[in-house]
Amino acid sequence: MSESLRQLAELFQENNQFVILSHVRPDGDAFGSSIGLAFILKEMGKEVRVFNEDGPSDVYAYLAGSLSVEKTPVEPPVGSPKVIAVDCSTQERLGERFQGWGVRPDANIDHHPDNPGYAAINWIDPRALATAEIIARTARDLGLPLCAEAAAALYVGILTDTNSFSFRPLRPETLELAASLIRSGADPEILSWRTFRNFSLNRFHLLREILNRTRFSAENRIAFYRLDADLYAKTGTTSLEVENFLNYLQLVQTVQVAFMVEEIGPQLTRISLRSIPLIDIRPVAAHFGGGGHRNASGARASLPVAEAERQLLEQILPLLRSTS
Amino acid sequence: MSESLRQLAELFQENNQFVILSHVRPDGDAFGSSIGLAFILKEMGKEVRVFNEDGPSDVYAYLAGSLSVEKTPVEPPVGSPKVIAVDCSTQERLGERFQGWGVRPDANIDHHPDNPGYAAINWIDPRALATAEIIARTARDLGLPLCAEAAAALYVGILTDTNSFSFRPLRPETLELAASLIRSGADPEILSWRTFRNFSLNRFHLLREILNRTRFSAENRIAFYRLDADLYAKTGTTSLEVENFLNYLQLVQTVQVAFMVEEIGPQLTRISLRSIPLIDIRPVAAHFGGGGHRNASGARASLPVAEAERQLLEQILPLLRSTS
């Protein structure tokens, strides 16, 4: 057993009050990991609260325990509970409210390769495809109790971060851990429906609008769309609902890079970028002061949307592979 | 070991020439199973040919061995090779050319629950989510050689029939077999990209057109679209490319049944139906003389497209669950 894992086991055993926190704008792995770990610790008889800068989310309301996620309080809870950060690559991403507590997390469980190890105990495995995978494996290796509710939450963490086991360099271990979560009571069919077939009719209309706006460039090797500031209002949606829509542009075989530009203000543009496994898209995000993963990056550019779009096309062009 | 499995092992061991056939309009599991089994038998030193009524397919050209699939010859090959049917629920679905041979298959490996067992040896497991899963398990249990090419083909069979491990009542065994195929050399990332991100630009335009045509009915519990006879010509696509587009209608949370009607002729309409796990859609397909799975059925109705659509809405309505 590694030293970090031994320390983590000790932290779990020797304390009774825990707070679990994850990153702002939480996704399925942030929620799944937080809630899954909370159930595990509760089964061990511990007092656990789950905080998030953004509070609970309707999107994951089908997960038991999801609606008991609380908005991070401004003051730290009394009793100095141990703080565990999950799926959060930097301490800053735990949110402003947590920063106000002026404390350092006791543990940091994560799979992001750029996690600098900001906590007292850092249990980081960049080979894992989701933090939920690390927690499922840790529970198994330490013999911690895993109820059906924990298994479901962790399954959803893996499901979302692996995009339903697709387009990722899956390891056999990930599939085997997912199998073990099904054995522990996660219902793969229902969880997959709830996770992926959850569009509101408005969101469907937003998708339709985005596909209608999609343009192709550079011999169809680039696909992109532009969102105006008023589109969400017009379709009755929010910016969270546009998440993952670049996947649809990537359906096209010739597309090597897909991006979107979203007008946040007259001089502010949100950029999101995706690329095929062969292309490292991070330099393009870095050009605009952003960052992220090799094949999925983003930035906020202090530029008008049309100018950001122009520079993006210019920056992406030299990265494209020739079509033979 | 079951009697059928023992007989199958004997068939493999004691013969040297094999023909593998699958169903007409072959999908990923038909191709994956055929090609996967062919590689296994070839590794055992056997002579193997793979036939299909429709011949090879560009869609699966990324699978080694895919382009050596042959259009079923009118005459049976000389030497009386043993005939193995894979992923084919009835002997008729092996195609007209095979029917002309006037022989019965020697083995029938399948996962369709309605397979009547039409061969001398019937190795049928309706719990398996793909025939490729049965073949992978059989190879493991009998200790047959599984090269990377076979693993890749079988992985794609599982990937397509489970819709990338989603929206299906997955068994942990399926995920574990997929994990073992990765260990045998299947590349999950590349195979998933090739299988699902393979749209031509024309097919993307077809999708866009279909989403634009999609209508909702019965408090958004039914979603449907209609295809005119000339749409494929207009978008430069074929009817094979519309496959699985009902998935996109099913993204909407309120949708319980999704269907499409396609005008084949003035009095002939192709119908395709999907439903949520709670709803058995087969009675609707049966109304039009069709059939299929509980949540995925189809029919060819001798009706004009508008009349088929009207009757479908009428038939589906009583099956819907109330929205509470």
Higher-pLDDT residue of A249 and B167 is: A249
Nearest-Cα distance to chain B for A3, in Å, is 29
Looking at the predicted structure, is the pLDDT value of residue B103 above 80?
yes
**pLDDT at residue A268, as a whole number:** 96
pLDDT in the model for residue A67? 87
- Sequence ranges of chain B with CATH classification 3.90.1640.10: 3-196
**Chain A contact set for B199 (CB, 8 A):** 251-253
Residues of B in contact with A200 (CB under 8 A): 252-253
Query: Among all residues of chain B, which has the CA nearest to that of A211?
Result: B208
The CATH architecture annotation of domain A201-319 reads: Roll (3.10)
Residues of chain A neighbouring B256 (CB-CB closer than 8 A): none
Q: Is the pLDDT of residue B59 over 90?
A: no
Q: Which CATH entry fits the domain spanning A3-196: 1.20.140.10, 3.90.1170.50, 3.40.190.290, 3.90.1640.10? A: 3.90.1640.10
Chain A interface, best mutation among B166, B173, B246, by max A CB count within 10 A: B166
Q: Taking 80 as the threshold, does the pLDDT of residue B299 lie above it?
A: yes
Distance from CA of B106 to the nearest CA of A (A): 34
**Chain B residues touching A179 at Cβ < 8 A:** 172-173, 175-176, 179
Tell me what pLDDT residue B238 has: 84
| List of chain B residues whose C-beta atoms are within 8 Å of the C-beta of residue A277 | 189-190, 193
CA-based nearest distance B200→chain A, Å: 6
Half-sphere exposure of A232 (CA within 13 A, CB side): 11
Residue whose tokens read 């020439």: B17
> What is the enclosing helix (H) or strand (E) of A207?
helix A201-213
Does residue B324 have a pLDDT over 70?
no
Per-residue pLDDT at A156: 98
Is A252's CB within 8 Å of B188's CB?
no
The minimum CA-CA distance between B316 and chain A, rounded to whole Å, is 20
Low-confidence ranges of chain A (pLDDT < 50): none
Find the CB nearest A165 among B165, B193, B251.
B165
Q: Give the pLDDT score at A324.
A: 60
Q: In the prediction, which pLDDT does B43 show?
A: 98
Interface pTM, i.e. ipTM: 0.91
**Which chain B residues are Cβ-neighbours of A173 within 8 angstroms?**
179
CATH 3.10.310.30 segments of chain A: 201-319
Residue from A58, A60, A3, A74 nearest A30 by CA: A60
| pLDDT surpassing 80 at residue B94 | yes
Mark yes or no for CB contact A170/B164 under 8 Å: no
Optimal mutation site among A60, A192, A209, A279, interface B, most CBs of chain B within 10 A:
A192
Q: Looking at beta carbons, which residues of chain A come within 8 Å of B58? A: none
B178 closest CB neighbour out of A164, A175, A204: A175
Q: Quick one: tokens of B248?
A: 């996109």
A176 shares contact with chain B (CB less than 8 Å) = yes
- Structural contact between residues A295 and A274, judged by C-beta atoms closer than 8 angstroms: yes
Q: What is the mean pLDDT of chain B?
A: 95
Closest to A130 measured CA to CA, from A179, A164, A98: A164
Rounded to whole angstroms, how far apart are CA atoms A235 and A246? 18
Q: Using CA atoms, how far apart are residues A281 and A303, in angstroms rounded to an integer?
A: 20
Q: What's residue A243's pLDDT?
A: 80
Rounded distance between C-alpha atoms, residue A295 and residue B181, angstroms: 25
pLDDT > 90: percent of chain B? 90
Looking at per-residue confidence, does B24 or B238 come out higher? B24
- B197 with A172: Cβ contact below 8 A: no
Chain A residues with CB under 8 Å of B203 CB are 252
Out of A172, A182, A250, the one facing B197 most closely (by C-beta) is A250
Query: Please, which pLDDT band fits residue B242 given cuts at 50, 70 and 90?
Result: confident
Angstrom distance (rounded) from CA A27 to CA A161:
9
Q: Once rounded to an integer, what is the mean pLDDT over residues B97-108? A: 97
Compute the nearest-CA separation of B83 from chain A (Å).
Answer: 34
